[in-house]
């Protein structure tokens, strides 16, 4: 099984996740989340498979999130609208996102990775 690993190479959390995969000899295809931002449709699929609310896909600690006042914009937004906002700029997306096509994890917690990807 090869995982799809959406990441931003300058992100410390992404580097930790990548190291974890490498240390555990797990195959993955990495996708630069800013240069190759997932489409609205891809994001809707990831959200649907994640068991997480769409709001959890936002990089709430990011500069762009604060600059664009996304918190207010998504307060009453539908999942569709949130996916559209996320697809507009990869820097708005919490990372890394990992999927095997059916399961999805967002962010990096070692316990979560062990449960899902080992």
| pLDDT values of the chain reduced to their tens digit, one per residue, 118 residues | 799 999 999 999 999 999 999 999 999 999 999 999 999 999 999 999 999 999 999 999 999 999 999 999 999 999 999 999 999 999 999 999 999 999 999 999 999 999 999 9
Provide the CATH number for the domain around residue 40. 3.40.30.10
Number of C-beta neighbours around residue 64 at 10 A: 15
Residue 22, token pair as written in the block: 């490498």
pTM of this prediction?
0.93
**Residue 32 CA to its chain's centroid (Å):** 11
State the total domains in the chain: 1
Structural domain boundaries, residue 53: 3-117
Distances (CA, A) of 57 to 24, 40, 99: 25, 12, 13
């Amino acid at each position: 099984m090869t995982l799809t690993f959406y990441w931003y190479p300058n992100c410390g959390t992404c580097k930790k996740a990548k190291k974890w995969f490498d240390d555990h000899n797990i195959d993955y295809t990495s996708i630069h989340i800013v240069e190759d931002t997932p489409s609205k449709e891809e994001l809707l699929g990831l959200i649907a498979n994640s068991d997480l609310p769409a709001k959890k896909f936002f990089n709430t600690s990011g500069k762009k999130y604060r600059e664009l006042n996304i918190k207010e914009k998504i307060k009453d937004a539908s999942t569709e609208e949130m996916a559209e906002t996320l697809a507009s700029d990869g820097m708005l997306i919490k990372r890394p996102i990992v999927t095997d096509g059916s399961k999805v994890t967002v962010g990096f917690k070692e316990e979560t990775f062990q449960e899902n990807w080992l």
